[in-house]
Amino acid sequence: MLFRIVCVAFFIQLCLAAPNSRYDDEDSRENSVNEGVDQPHQFDLLIFTQRWPITACHEWRETGKGHICGLPTPATVWTIHGIWPTKRNTIGPAFCNKSAIFDLSQLTTIEQQLEDHWVNVEKNKPDYSLWEHEWLKHGTCAAEVIDQLNTESKYFSQGLAWLEQHSVNAAFASSGDIRPGYNYSLTTLNKALFDYYGKNVAIECFYDHKTHQQLLNEVRICFDKQLQSADCDGIVGMERIAIPNARVGTVISNCNAANPIFYPDTVPKDMAPKVIDIKAKYETISTVSDEQDKQQETYEFVEVIVV
Ligand SMILES: *[C@@H]1O[C@H](CO)[C@@H](O)[C@H](O)[C@H]1NC(C)=O
Ligand SMILES: *[C@@H]1O[C@H](CO)[C@@H](O)[C@H](O)[C@H]1NC(C)=O
């Protein structure tokens, strides 16, 4: 049986809802919404977020009809989500430069590395769409304040450098022998990460409503404005959970500490995409999505034929 999901002008609002909702979702999880036009945009910390691409891929598939995900090769390496300037105990800032545009040509020399390590698993969109989003939303705020991050090239190169120096793969291998394919307690994961980084980190789970499992999704480590390691204490959006009998007393997380956390080694097979033919056509439009923000957003249209 074939049915088609086709975006046509008449249903433009419906079509826009899917890609847009993903970023709204990300916005709420990052907890950094637009603060408005007040200058300067202050922040205390840079959150360096690494994601587990297998979970990110699974999440993307699960959260919308026609969502197509793709994994890096190899799939079992932690990849970069972003560097997010963050003010303690509050939100944002985000989208600090309304006149900024994303210029892919500034990344030519590191583009291959970005494709390998700063991976867009959302294959309904072009590879660079994640970089564009991260730069406009977060990079522009870092750029205002931190000289070492004040161009696209510097911002993305810093992410690559931090991944090399602070990868979660290394943390898990060195201090916990934590491997994909198994369940771990939040305490175990947090202890491994704390022992390796020497700082409080944040651990993010994706809750799969079909299997009722929580999957390890992201690890966030923090830096101060001098780019030195810092505790993530004070970041908003995840709770500080008390863990009795743990060497490290608390952990910043949205995971349920009472249940195991699955660290998946493959995207579940029954979720394999049923897409047999993809005709993706990208168009970009600019809209004023919010009268107050005069915020430019881009949307991609995608036509997908599924079995
Ligand atoms: C904002 O972005 C524009 C375009 O890239 C740039 O010319 C300008 O210097 C930026 N403003 C600030 C405050 O960084
Ligand atoms: C992980 O824990 C869940 C929930 O208890 C369980 O259903 C699953 O079989 C476990 N997986 C492994 C690999 O142990």
Hey, what are 290's tokens? 């919010």
What CATH number is attached to the domain comprising 182?
A: 3.90.730.10
Residue 78 domain boundaries: 41-263
Residue 253 lies in a domain: yes
Say if ligand 1 is within 6 A of residue 97 CB: yes
**Which whole number is the average pLDDT over 79-90?**
95
Residue 114 lies in a domain: yes
Among all bound ligands, the one having the nearest atom to the CA of 100 is 1
Q: How far apart are the first and last CA of the chain?
A: 6
CA nearest to 46, candidates 143, 153, 116? 143
- 220 near 201, Cβ under 8 Å? yes
Atom of ligand 1 nearest to the CA of 101: 5
Q: Which of 41, 96, 97 to mutate to test the pocket of ligand 1 (most atoms within 8 A of CB)?
A: 97
Residue 284 lies in a domain: no
99 CA distance to ligand 1 middle (Å): 6
Q: Is 117 exposed, middle or buried (0-12, 13-18, 19+ CB in 10 A)?
A: buried
> Does residue 221 register a pLDDT over 60?
yes
**pLDDT tens, 159-206?**
999 999 999 999 999 876 899 999 999 999 999 999 999 999 999 999
Return the pLDDT at 41: 86
Hey, what are 201's tokens? 């980190």
Say if ligand 1 is within 6 A of residue 39 CB: no
Say if ligand 2 is within 6 A of residue 184 CB: no
CA nearest to 44, candidates 224, 172, 211? 224
Return the pLDDT at 175: 72
Residue 220 lies in a domain: yes
- 180 near 192, Cβ under 8 Å? no
Q: Which residues pair with 5 in a beta bridge?
A: 304
Least confident interval from 61-75, 106-120, 283-297:
283-297
Q: Are strands 261-263 and 213-223 parallel, antiparallel or unpaired?
A: parallel
Say if ligand 1 is within 6 A of residue 100 CB: yes
Among all bound ligands, the one having the nearest atom to the CA of 103 is 1
At 38, the amino acid letter reads: D
Residue 283 lies in a domain: no
Domain count, the chain: 1
Residue 231 lies in a domain: yes
Query: Which of the four pLDDT bands, split at 50, 70 and 90, describes residue 22?
Result: very low
CA nearest to 196, candidates 136, 269, 248, 264? 248
Say if ligand 1 is within 6 A of residue 152 CB: no
Say if ligand 1 is within 6 A of residue 144 CB: yes
What are the phi and psi torsion angles at 171 (to 5°)? -60, -45
Residue 306 lies in a domain: no
Determine whether 209 is an active site residue.
no
46 CA distance to ligand 1 middle (Å): 20
- 153 near 110, Cβ under 8 Å? yes
Residue 196 CA to residue 199 CA, distance in Å, equals 8
Residue 300 lies in a domain: no
In this structure, the residue with its CA closest to atom 10 of ligand 2 is: 183
